[in-house]
Amino acid sequence: MRIPENKAKERGKSINLALSERGLSALRATDLGLDKIILKASVPMHARMVHVGDKQMSQAYSVNGEHINAVDRARLNDLLLDAAEKFENVTIYFDHRLNMIDFDKNVMTIQTGAGDNITTVKHYADLIVGADGAYSRTRGQMMRRMRMDYEQIYIDTGYCELSMPPLIDEQGQAQFALDPNHLHIWPRHTFMLIALPNPDRTFTCTLFMPFEMFDQITTEEKLMDLFTTYFPDAIPLIGQSRLIRDYFTNPRGSLISVKSSPHHLDGRSVIIGDAAHAMVPFYGQGMNCGFEDIEVLHQVLDRHGITPVTTKNQRKLLEKALTDYSNTRVKDAHAICDLAMYNHYEMRSAVTSYRYLARKKIEGWIHLMAPRLVVPLYTMVSFSTLPYSKAIERWHKQNFWLNVVLGTTGLATLTGLTGLLLSKQHNRDIIHSVIESVWKIFK
């Protein structure tokens, strides 16, 4: 049920989301076929397309052909709301703000309306689950009652959304302006442009830049200078007038990273999603991690034999279960927040470094040969449900051994090459062919 009934579906932020395995796994677990429904509304992205100069380099997300999925935030919201309101015991309230929570009675004070026309309602819940975002009121109310460790960090980078329309081909058909099965990136070290495909053949572009740069680019001329210098191939695709309109009309978003510990208060409430762990968007894991929270929470409740039936005795049982939940989930949330922050650097810069690319190639190549020996970090994060903290732990171990192996191999190769160099012309030809084959591996 929806209150008010005639509530028009609201558009949220228009930024695109990248749905990957953790999110899909949670959707699958609902047994409503939600994974399939949402995949149908999304566009698969198999690789990053890195734009450098007038070149485009495709960098596959996985050597096994796995892909992530671009999905429009508003469309996703609608699909989830449609699914939720089919349940008789679910009531969806719009335009209701949480004001405060009395945790002694587990009663929420909720307000609706504005100005002189504010109505206050009180609502009891056995368990209050706060999924109210990075600026969570539930979290704020919990923090007044308990010793919660909390950290929020804003990065210096802001963002502005731009839109890229379809190209109209000779038959008058709308076509994607760029390869649609890619997440496009224009990495420029301290700033970057990205573009994600939509099913309607448009791209949603996001310009990430230090706020300082936003503050400096205040005229159409300066904006066109920036794009002519750094993103020349994007200008005809976006269109100059649309670019200027979007840049000067759309708001500048800021990016916050939030960590909290624990995620629960006694057996009374728990925060999930951004309310517990907002992250910068550079690993495409914010939504996936939030959905996974729900799957993990359900697993923990099941393990403790907690059913939705209200009993007075459940408060103690709930406390045990939620303590378990925080004990596993806090460290995973911290891990993915850190990874997302690290990927900010990787997306802006490292994707253009040969050392980085060579290493990725080697990692992927070993993974292909021995899939259980080395699993690339991106694969563990995006294409598996291995807990984030375990993924990082494994990554560190792999890196150690990879460095040993590469070090040893490097040393052996160097010794061999030196030996060969010191001998005859015949051997120089061998060296040449060795270098050539190595080059082929990396190409």
The binding site for a copy of itself (CB under 8 A) comprises 135, 144, 147-154, 254, 256
Nearer to a copy of itself, 154 or 345 (CB): 154
Distance from C-alpha of 127 to C-alpha of 42, rounded to nearest angstrom: 33
Nearer to a copy of itself, 126 or 338 (CB): 338
Q: Which residue has the tokens 């600026």?
A: 135
Nearer to a copy of itself, 299 or 323 (CB): 323
Nearer to a copy of itself, 157 or 198 (CB): 157
Distance from C-alpha of 430 to C-alpha of 100, rounded to nearest angstrom: 76
Distance from C-alpha of 282 to C-alpha of 291, rounded to nearest angstrom: 17
State the Cα angle at 296 between 295 and 301, rounded to 5°: 100
Q: Which residues contact 314 (CB under 8 A, 6 or more apart)?
A: 126, 267, 306
Nearer to a copy of itself, 154 or 401 (CB): 154
Nearer to a copy of itself, 139 or 348 (CB): 139
Nearer to a copy of itself, 59 or 261 (CB): 261
Q: How far is the CB of 258 from a copy of itself (least distance, A)?
A: 10
- Residue 162's SS3 state is strand
Q: To which H or E segment does residue 366 belong? A: helix 354-369
Q: How far is the CB of 250 from a copy of itself (least distance, A)?
A: 18
Q: How far is the CB of 145 from a copy of itself (least distance, A)?
A: 12
Q: How far is the CB of 142 from a copy of itself (least distance, A)?
A: 13
- Residue 127's SS3 state is coil
Nearer to a copy of itself, 134 or 375 (CB): 134
Q: How far is the CB of 149 from a copy of itself (least distance, A)?
A: 5
Buried b (16+ CB within 10 A) or exposed e, 351-370: beeeeebebbebbbebbeee
Q: How far is the CB of 140 from a copy of itself (least distance, A)?
A: 8
Task: Classify residue 272 by its DSSP letter.
Answer: -
Closest CA to 234 of 376, 53, 372: 53
- 185 pairs with which residues across the strands? 50, 194
CB atoms within 10 A of CB 417: 15
Q: How far is the CB of 402 from a copy of itself (least distance, A)?
A: 34
Q: How far is the CB of 256 from a copy of itself (least distance, A)?
A: 8
Greatest Cα-to-Cα distance within the chain, rounded to the nearest angstrom: 94
CB atoms within 10 A of CB 55: 8
State the amino acid at position 401 in one-letter form.
W
Nearer to a copy of itself, 149 or 225 (CB): 149
Q: Which residue has the tokens 């349940």?
A: 87
Q: How far is the CB of 293 from a copy of itself (least distance, A)?
A: 22
The sign of the torsion formed by the CA atoms of 396, 17, 281, 84 equals negative
Nearer to a copy of itself, 109 or 399 (CB): 109
CB atoms within 10 A of CB 305: 9
Nearer to a copy of itself, 7 or 122 (CB): 122
Q: How far is the CB of 266 from a copy of itself (least distance, A)?
A: 14
- 57 pairs with which residues across the strands? 50
Q: Which residues contact 267 (CB under 8 A, 6 or more apart)?
A: 127, 314, 315, 316, 317, 318, 319, 320, 321, 322
Q: How far is the CB of 158 from a copy of itself (least distance, A)?
A: 9
The pair of three-digit structure tokens given for residue 235, joined into one six-digit string: 């200008």
